[in-house]
């Protein structure tokens, strides 16, 4: 039977769930969708869907260059969303918020623009063993191209970063420390402020992968003193196809453009060009305008609910899930205890491949993720090829956790 925990409901989950039409969906076999895959992508509230629909119905036009009514409306919507996103993360200026396609492109922008202008053979970049591939592969590519060195902060058996090892690595004078604020597998919430302070003390810049943190925690880039911070809209109730690179203005000003073409230019001649001002310097071509409108609506929605309340709710759900998973014989959960992690629970079930777990759960409408979650090196660290992952958000409930546990017992019964 479920254990009784201290009540944690700081938000009206029943009311919130009404904002997400997809949660009324039933699968082909008539099962209600139990969505435990928000780490991969979140669902979208009606406010976001309606904002994007309204843009297409009323204001659809290209931005910045037109002077007619629709173009000016579209431009205002696009740029106003940027200002709201800047406030959401407490950027010093909207000019420090660069639209990209996603977190991956944001990290690549830093690797291609800042890093290729500033790093040379032998320069050290420090990463961690818990990184998503998006914060590994760009640096591997630069290593092959430039001969930079890569070192990694180890992950302990508990799923935490070894900060003593990190401090030792800082003695090698790194140029950049790039790390995830919250692991998409272990759920570990890393001490970002401390990591950044130590990096700066060693003379290094910092790049934070905030794909999993900005949707779930109250993030203040100025308080963290992050040099670069990357995140995606689709993981925080917004649309796919748009993300943000936050960068301190002095750094962005000194970086060469990432892509060339329309809107990122101030002036073009046959034999030369001048780049546009921030942030448009890094936004070539027609952007994702409707998606920016939706992104703005998403941060409005999250702000209305309250990020601290969302974090408290997810903590309670995660604590409850860990308690219930302990009851299931053969389940092994990876990562730290609830007080050190976000709403992510990766686990294995003895004798059953994670993909089989996910497929059987899906028969009852329960959506979990199975695989290496774009973090193969981390899974190799723990000596496993894959895990099943249940992840939670502001619309998740204890009842859904109970159905997950019931489903795991069904898996055990099928596999004997």
The answer to whether the beta carbons of residues 411 and 403 sit under 8 Å apart is no
What is the rounded distance in angstroms from the CA atom of residue 390 to the CA atom of residue 375? 16
Average pLDDT over residues 373-384: 97
Does 279 sit behind a cis peptide bond, omega within 30 degrees of 0 on the bond before it?
Answer: yes
User: Quick one: average pLDDT of 184-212?
Assistant: 98
pLDDT by residue (tens digit) across 116-173?
A: 999 999 999 999 999 999 999 999 999 999 999 999 999 999 999 999 999 999 999 9
Q: Does the domain made of 49-304 have the CATH classification 3.40.640.10?
A: yes
Report d(CA 288, CA 56) in Å as an integer.
Answer: 12
* Residue ranges, CATH 3.90.1150.10, the chain: 13-44+306-414
The Cα–Cα gap between 303 and 394 comes to 12
Question: How confident is the model at residue 319, as a pLDDT?
Answer: 98
**Percentage above 90 pLDDT, the chain:** 95
Which pLDDT score, from 0 to 100, does residue 262 have? 87
Task: Say what the pLDDT of residue 243 is.
Answer: 98
Residue 193: what pLDDT? 98
Contact 127, 179 (CB under 8 A): yes
Please state at what angle helix 163-170 crosses helix 192-201, rounded to 10 degrees. Answer: 20
207-217 pLDDT, tens digit per residue, is 999 999 999 99
**In 328-383, which ranges are E strands?**
331-334, 344-349, 366-367, 369-371
Question: Residues 36, 392: contact at Cβ < 8 Å?
Answer: yes
Q: Is there a contact between 387 and 350 (Cβ–Cβ < 8 Å)?
A: no
User: Would you state the pLDDT for residue 65?
Assistant: 84
Q: Are 122 and 151 in contact (CB under 8 A)?
A: no
**Angle between helix 354-363 and helix 398-414 axes, rounded to 10 deg:** 110
pLDDT over threshold 60, residue 9: no
Q: Give CA–CA dist 228/221, Å, rounded.
A: 9
The domain 13-44+306-414 is classified under which CATH number: 3.40.50.620, 3.40.1710.10, 3.40.50.800, 3.90.1150.10?
3.90.1150.10
Residues labelled as active-site residues: 374
Q: Which of 48, 50, 43 lies closest to 22 in space, CA to CA?
A: 43
Mean pLDDT calculated for residue range 229-243: 98
pLDDT for the residue numbered 173: 98
Q: Is residue 178 predicted with pLDDT exceeding 50? A: yes
Cite the residue boundaries of each domain of the chain with CATH code 3.40.640.10. 49-304
29 versus 330: the higher-pLDDT residue is 330
- pTM for this entry: 0.96
Q: Do residues 41 and 240 touch, judged by C-beta distance below 8 A?
A: yes
The whole-number average pLDDT for the span 390-407 is 98
Task: Place 2 in a pLDDT band, splitting at 50, 70 and 90.
Answer: very low
Dist. CA 406–CA 416, nearest whole Å: 15
| Phi, psi at 348, each rounded to 5° | -125, 155
**What is the C-alpha to C-alpha distance for residues 179 and 182, in angstroms, rounded to an integer?**
9
Average pLDDT over residues 274-282: 95
pLDDT score at 289: 98
Mean residue pLDDT across the chain: 96
Q: What is the pLDDT of residue 27?
A: 87
pLDDT at 29 over 80: yes
Residue 72: which H helix or E strand, with range? helix 69-88
Residue 13 burial (CB count, 10 A) = 17
């Amino acid at each position: 039977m479920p254990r009784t925990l201290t009540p944690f409901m700081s938000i009206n989950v029943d009311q919130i769930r009404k904002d997400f039409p997809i949660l009324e969906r039933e699968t082909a076999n008539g099962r209600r969708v139990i969505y435990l895959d928000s780490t991969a992508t979140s669902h979208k509230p009606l406010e976001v869907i309606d904002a994007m629909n309204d843009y297409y119905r009323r204001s659809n036009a290209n931005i910045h260059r037109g002077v007619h009514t629709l173009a000016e409306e579209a431009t205002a919507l696009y740029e106003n969303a940027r200002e709201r996103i800047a406030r959401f993360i407490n950027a010093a200026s909207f000019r420090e918020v660069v639209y990209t396609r996603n977190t991956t492109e944001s990290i690549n922008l830093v690797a291609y623009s800042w890093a290729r202008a500033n790093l040379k053979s032998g320069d050290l970049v420090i990463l961690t063993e818990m990184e998503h591939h998006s914060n590994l592969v760009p640096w591997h590519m630069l290593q092959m191209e430039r001969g930079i060195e890569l070192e990694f902060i180890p992950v302990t058996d508990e799923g935490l970063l070894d900060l003593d090892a990190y401090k030792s690595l800082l003695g090698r004078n790194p140029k950049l420390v790039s790390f995830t604020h919250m692991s998409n597998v272990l759920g570990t919430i890393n001490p970002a402020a401390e990591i950044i302070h130590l990096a700066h003390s060693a003379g290094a810049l910092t790049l934070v992968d905030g794909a999993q943190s900005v949707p779930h925690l109250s993030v203040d880039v100025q308080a963290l003193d992050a040099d670069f911070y990357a995140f995606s809209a689709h993981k925080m109730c917004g649309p796919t196809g748009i993300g943000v690179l936050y960068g301190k203005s002095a750094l962005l000003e000194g970086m060469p453009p990432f892509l060339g073409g329309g809107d990122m230019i101030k002036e073009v001649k046959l034999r030369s060009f001048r780049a546009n001002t921030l942030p448009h310097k890094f936004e070539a071509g027609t952007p994702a305008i409707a998606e920016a409108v939706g992104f703005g609506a998403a941060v409005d929605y999250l702000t209305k609910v309250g990020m601290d309340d969302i974090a408290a709710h997810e903590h309670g759900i995660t604590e409850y899930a860990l308690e219930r998973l302990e009851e299931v014989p053969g389940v092994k959960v990876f990562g730290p205890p609830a007080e050190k992690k976000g709403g992510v629970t990766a686990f294995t079930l003895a004798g059953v491949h994670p993909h089989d777990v996910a497929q059987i759960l899906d028969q009852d409408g329960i959506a979990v993720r199975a695989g290496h979650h774009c973090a193969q090196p981390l899974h190799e660290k723990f000596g496993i090829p894959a895990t099943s992952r249940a992840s939670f958000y502001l619309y998740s409930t204890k009842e859904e956790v109970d159905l997950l546990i019931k489903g795991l017992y069904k898996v055990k019964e099928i596999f004997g």
